[in-house]
Amino acid sequence: MLAACGPAPAGSPGMAEHVGSYTWEESGKAFGGFSGLEVDADGTRFTAISDRGGIVQGRLLREGDSIAGVEAGPVRKLKGPENEALGRFWTDAEGLAQGADGRVFVSFEGKHRVWAYARPDSAATDLPQHPHFDRLQLNSSLEALAIGPDGALYTLPERSGRKLLPFPVYRFAGGEWTYAFDLPRRGEFLPTGADFGPDGRLYLLERDFTGLFGFRSRVRSFDVTNDGIRDERTVLETRVGTHDNLEGLSVWRDAGGAIRLTMISDDNFRPFQVTEFVEYRLPP
């Protein structure tokens, strides 16, 4: 994070309010680079993945509304379908989703694919490919992953190919991927994470890297219907440098009935960036 200023104030009714931020520090070469996040229904247990093929699980310690500490196990390496260690170009895990049955789904860029894990330490199951996946840009492919209220899996790439093109969203159900719908591209922001909230809406975390001054973050939400999307809302947009490189998003409902957006930053394993949990709340 190269600039420092407060969160952007809520500009209109329905905009998210900043609850708190917590910088998470651990030793070890495997710690950092977190690009995907899942938090359980009460905001306590979490799973995170890193873009070096790591996965970690732990607990968020809270004082009142805010995160005040983290207890976590070691960062373990994800494995391939033959229970093998992942090679250099196979480790770039970006999107994370967890099913009601406990299965973990991970999307990767580099080698564009989605794998399923019965447990974080188990061998991967390779999901079928959509024909479009092979055409996606290098280092800009399956960035976000989410499970819908119907149990279907949704993913989208970081880049659409051109600034005026919408982002394609793919849906996995019944053993195959289909082209589900498009999400409109607004300005310079690019997707980094997604989740369906307890309200059934799709929440999309986006980032704009401005260079020397750092990052801006935005969250939009959509009502997903059988005919596509409707009711697009921008619920969060921060000023440059408010937070580090937010990439993982998990959406849940707190004890007060408010939708909570919990996010984690990817420090890119660089000493001048930080790993932080950031939380915002939407008024009930």
Strand order in the sheet with 124-126: 93-98, 104-108, 113-117, 124-126
pLDDT at 13: 56
The tens digit of pLDDT for each residue in 74-92 reads 999 999 999 999 998 899 9
* Three-state SS at 131: helix
> What kind and span of H or E run contains 231?
strand 228-237
User: Which range has highest mean pLDDT (11-15, 168-172, 207-211)?
Assistant: 168-172
C-alpha to C-alpha distance for 9 and 242, rounded to whole angstroms: 11
Q: What does the mean pLDDT of the chain come to?
A: 93
As a whole-number percent, the residues of the chain with pLDDT over 70 amount to: 95
Q: At 134, give phi and psi (nearest 5°).
A: -70, -20
C-alpha to C-alpha distance for 95 and 155, rounded to whole angstroms: 8
For the cut 80, the answer to whether the pLDDT of residue 254 exceeds it is yes
pLDDT at 7: 46
Measured torsion, CA atoms of residues 189, 96, 113, 180, in degrees rounded to the nearest 10:
-60
- Between the CA of residue 164 and those of 12, 50, 117, 194, what are the distances in Å? 27, 30, 36, 21
Average confidence (pLDDT) over 10-31? 86
Q: DSSP assignment of 39-103, as one string?
A: E-TTS-EEEEEETTSEEEEEEEEEETTEEEEEEE-PPEEPB-TTSPBPPGGG--EEEEEE-TTS-
pLDDT at 120: 94
- Map tokens 């998003």 to a residue: 249
Q: Are 277 and 249 in contact (CB under 8 A)?
A: no
